[in-house]
Amino acid sequence: MRFDHVGIGLAAWISVQGQLGCAARPSDELATETRAVDEEADDDGNDGDGDCEDGGCDDGDCEDEPGAVESLADAAERAHRLVGAAVAFGPLTTEPTYREVLERELDYITPENATKWGSLQPEDPQHWSFEEADTIIDAADGAGQAIKGHALVWHNQLPPFVTDDLTPEQLTQTMHRHIRKVVRRYRKQIRAWDVVNEAVADDATLRDTVFLRKLGPGYLADAFREAHRADRKAVLYYNDYSIDVINPKSDAVYALVQSLLEAGVPIGGVGFQMHLEAQNAPTTEAMVANLSRFAALGLRVNISELDVRVRLLSGDMATKLAVQKQVYHRVVAACMQVERCESVTAWGFTDLHSWIDSFFGADDPLEFDEQYRRKPAYHGMVDGFLGVPPDAAGTAPNLVANSTFEIGTDGWVASGGTLDATGTIAHTGASSARVSARTAGSQGPVHDLRAVVQPGRGHDVSAWARVSAPAETVRLVAKTRCEGGSDLSTTLDSEVATDAAWVELSGELAVPACTLAGVTLYVDDVAVRPQPGDLGPNLIANPDFETGTAGWFGFGGPTLTASTAQAHGGLQSGFVTNRTATFQGPAHDLLGLAVAGGTYQASAWARLDGAGSGPATLTLKASCSGADQFGQIASVTATSTEWTEVAGRFTVPSCTLTGLTIYLEGPPAGVNQYIDDVSVRQDLSMLGSNLVANPGFESGTTGWFGFGGPTLTATAAQAHTGAQSVLVTNRTATFQGPATSLLSVATPGAHAASGWVRLASATAAQVRMTLKTTCGGVDQFATVGAANATDAGWTQITGTLTVADCAPTDLVVYFEGPAAGIDFYLDDVAVQKLAP
Ligand code: XIL
């Protein structure tokens, strides 16, 4: 056999992950109680040597090779987790496909509504209606799925007779009877219950419910105790939303469950609902930090109602779904990193039936589409269970849905030979794609990209490859064809692959700006990430040193001059001499220019003076509340014979910035450096959509008002873009200016904010963008950004606008600053959520 084995795994990661099963294993205590684990535990055979699942099949000669996993449940089972969905009676009993997919893919069921109190007793205390609950529970039980009941004590969907008219004694009795009857009925089938749901309000105090009003805070302990009396084995959960990361509400829930535990209340776990918005979704690390502290109390944790809204993301649908995949991946990865996290349950599983559409507007929040097809999010979940590391925050989304072959070769074909997914070898996770029985060098795995790439835009493409021969050249090839045109094949990269290690291929794919008849990626692809399509303006005002070194300085003390000895473009470049340490070099301040949490594309041209070569590294120094962090943006080898570009992306830390500097460093001390044509541009495609409804005043001042009472007029006298801007007149105090409310559209977190201002009369004045937040009745004012405006042109104000997580009752952004009596124009205001 020669060259008959091309394996592919996930691209863009540097470390090869241990095989599955070597990753987080739950404690034995947890494992023995997890049905899915019982079957797996005995034959796992993990000897801890890091190749637990491949059983030494690397040579491909094994009789019974491990293949890819077959379902989500299969993936979760390998990870010693359960994976579930909320199930609705209607589709379960009327749509065969719903039931088929549910039984094939999932092993943990929560009745979506059927076990709620109001569903079981819709009329009066004498009548119970168990039909829908029985149907769902019997179906799940019959299919061997584990079941969680939801939710015994909740302020919503209650029977009509549970009201404030009951005496405390009557309410206690009614509650006990309900808990006893329902928990006992399903004792043999239901393994866990959400006993109390959503008892903490958004302001982190105990929610004002009929239970709290009538029974006081003791109702929680009482409910858990009654449930425990009814079924000693069931795991009893407290369940809530907006507690996914450490925040005031999760602090309150933490204190609550801690006090219940101290009082000996039989609470077994906490459920984290995670009804997420993609543009607002937490990082893996933030979720892990929070879940871990609950687990450290000895509690189990689970993700109980996951869904991820994408409606407010910017970009086309393929991009939105790729971002959604990242979020699903992150959530599952977080559960995998917390030993006591036993399950990930989504609130539904198909976009055809989700509560989101009616509660938050039409969306596509789940892991199967409306035709029950696996979405990118589905692959994100599988990847999470199989230990594939999620993308780092700020990484452009991967447009290839099935990029890791953990669950087979969906979406891929072979251009010859036989394609399969094999569990014998993997770059990350447990499987890779393999093309065997190849008869020509051009044969390999192929993926059609037409549906996901954007015409006219660049894409970063990468893949990891490996062959069964000692050394063979492997090529990453893109084939494009415009409608009516002919095929154009481009080799994006070629590397020598071996049978000893994975090699990464990577290159740039420029998709032609035409109607695509075919874009086919040949050979060993995996990640296709859109390059920043929309870049903001260059933040470096003096990028080319043509007029000197204004805005630049020597980092660490070297001498910086403008030189005509070399130039990449134009006649001059920056020149650094007297370098006494490798880290010294040309530097530019970005504080006030780049925003915390923003993602940027940076590029500079570097050249050395004299002989030899040396590293040229672009570094970002960020100071967060005074603490310095250094991050490498990109590094290349620079020489003295030609100019070399050093370019890369970076994300500014989401913190209170006290300093932000970009600089070029690396060559040995004593070596002089040239620098030219520097650019730092924000990647606007990483931002959420603009929350300002009427940002350009093209059709008037709708949505805007004069803060403090000045007059606003939409005018064609000046415009930054389009035909109009807004003019503010009759200002009687410095703080007066155009304002708009963000209250109904903004969510907590950091936003990139910007607006363009211009004075109406010949003077100069500072204009500030200010955010007014009212929380708990207290007004707070924060300066988002400021700039010196004139009447000679437009000036941009930029900054980070941070919406506090304090359930504000007022949230207004406005522009202020010039002395009373000075009129000014405003145009093109944008407030966009920064990707986490
Ligand atoms: C939702 C259901 O999905 C809807 O069908 C119903 O109309 C309202 O309730 N948090 C919870 C769930 O704990 O019970 C809610 O379910 C969604 C929010």
DSSP string, 398-440: P--SS-S-TT--TTEEESSSEEEEESS--SSSS-EEEEES--S
Q: What is the pLDDT of residue 630?
A: 87
Which residue's CA is the nearest one to ligand 1's atom 16?
112
305 lines ligand 1 (CB under 6 A): yes
How many Å apart are CA 512 and CA 401, to the nearest integer?
A: 22
CA 112 / ligand 1 centre spacing (Å): 7
355 lines ligand 1 (CB under 6 A): yes
Directed axis angle between helix 317-337 and helix 284-295, to 10°?
30
Q: What is the DSSP letter of 115?
A: T
Q: What is the pLDDT of residue 527?
A: 52
CA within 13 Å, CB half, 360: 16
Q: Is the peptide bond before 151 cis (omega within 30 degrees of 0)?
A: yes
Which residue's CA is the nearest one to ligand 1's atom 15?
112
CA 113 / ligand 1 centre spacing (Å): 7
454 lines ligand 1 (CB under 6 A): no
Question: What's phi and psi for 38, nearest 5 deg?
Answer: -55, -45
How many Å apart are CA 654 and CA 790, to the nearest integer?
A: 31
Ligand 1: residue of 242, 353, 355 to mutate (most ligand atoms within 8 A of CB) is 355
828 lines ligand 1 (CB under 6 A): no
**Whole-Å CA distances, 125 to 16, 131, 155, 162, 210:** 59, 17, 17, 9, 17
Closest listed residue to residue 324, CA positions, set 369, 383, 279, 371: 279
> Which residue has tokens 């491990």?
66
Active site residue 339: no
DSSP string, 54-84: TTT-TTS--SS--B---SHHHHHHHTT-EEE
Ligand 1: residue of 89, 109, 110, 113 to mutate (most ligand atoms within 8 A of CB) is 113
Q: Hey, how many other C-beta atoms are within 10 angstroms of the C-beta on 499?
A: 17
Per-10-residue mean pLDDT, the chain, length 836: 23 21 29 34 34 38 70 97 98 98 98 98 96 98 98 98 98 98 98 98 96 98 98 98 96 98 98 95 96 98 98 91 98 98 98 96 97 98 97 92 94 90 89 88 86 87 88 87 84 88 90 66 45 79 94 96 93 95 95 86 94 88 87 89 91 86 94 96 83 93 96 95 95 96 91 94 92 93 92 90 91 96 96 80
242 lines ligand 1 (CB under 6 A): no
> Which residue has tokens 């866990």?
192
How many Å apart are CA 543 and CA 678, to the nearest integer?
A: 5
74 lines ligand 1 (CB under 6 A): no
Closest listed residue to residue 411, CA positions, set 454, 362, 376: 376
CA 118 / ligand 1 centre spacing (Å): 12
Please name the residues in contact with 394: beta carbons below 8 A apart, sequence gap of 6 or more: 599, 649, 651, 686, 835
CA 97 / ligand 1 centre spacing (Å): 23
β partners of residue 45: none
- Cβ(834)–Cβ(695) below 8 Å: no
> Which residue has tokens 């009557």?
170
How many Å apart are CA 70 and CA 168, to the nearest integer?
A: 52
Size (the chain), residues: 836
Q: Which two tokens stand for residue 752?
A: 């990139």
CA 665 / ligand 1 centre spacing (Å): 55
Q: What is the DSSP letter of 601?
A: E
How many Å apart are CA 315 and CA 597, to the nearest integer?
A: 19
How many Å apart are CA 597 and CA 687, to the nearest integer?
A: 10
**Whole-Å CA distances, 589 to 498, 550, 658, 800:** 45, 11, 11, 17
DSSP string, 334-361: HHHHSTTEEEEEES-SBTTS-THHHHH-
Closest listed residue to residue 71, CA positions, set 419, 381, 335: 381
- Cβ(521)–Cβ(493) below 8 Å: no
Q: Which is catalytic among the residues 77, 103, 112, 305?
A: 305
CA 155 / ligand 1 centre spacing (Å): 12
432 lines ligand 1 (CB under 6 A): no
Which residue's CA is the nearest one to ligand 1's atom 12?
112
CA 245 / ligand 1 centre spacing (Å): 21
Integer Rg of the chain from CA: 30
Q: What is the pLDDT of residue 529?
A: 62
Q: What is the pLDDT of residue 468?
A: 84
- Cβ(107)–Cβ(141) below 8 Å: no
705 lines ligand 1 (CB under 6 A): no
How many Å apart are CA 301 and CA 319, to the nearest integer?
A: 31
Q: Hey, how many other C-beta atoms are within 10 angstroms of the C-beta on 418?
A: 12
Active site residue 367: no
How many Å apart are CA 803 and CA 312, to the nearest integer?
A: 17
Question: What's phi and psi for 671, nearest 5 deg?
Answer: -85, 125
- Cβ(761)–Cβ(728) below 8 Å: no
What is the rounded (10 degree) CA torsion for 449, 453, 454, 456?
Answer: -70
How many Å apart are CA 158 and CA 118, to the nearest integer?
A: 4
Q: Which two tokens stand for residue 114?
A: 């059927």
- Ligand 1 atom closest to Cα of residue 116: 14
197 lines ligand 1 (CB under 6 A): yes
Please name the residues in contact with 769: beta carbons below 8 A apart, sequence gap of 6 or more: 753, 755, 783, 784, 785, 786, 797, 799, 801, 813, 814, 815
How many Å apart are CA 65 and CA 42, to the nearest integer?
A: 19
685-722: string of b/e by CB count within 10 Å (b at 16+)? bbbbbbbbebbbbeeebeebebbeebebbbbeebbbee
- 8 sits in the region (left: phi over 0; alpha: psi -120 to 50; else beta) called beta
273 lines ligand 1 (CB under 6 A): yes
Which residue's CA is the nearest one to ligand 1's atom 7?
355
Q: What is the DSSP letter of 283?
A: P
DSSP string, 614-648: EEEEEEEEEEETTEEEEEEEEEEEEESSS-EEEEE
Question: What's phi and psi for 638, nearest 5 deg?
Answer: -100, 150
How many Å apart are CA 83 and CA 553, to the nearest integer?
A: 55
53 lines ligand 1 (CB under 6 A): no
- Ligand 1 atom closest to Cα of residue 354: 3
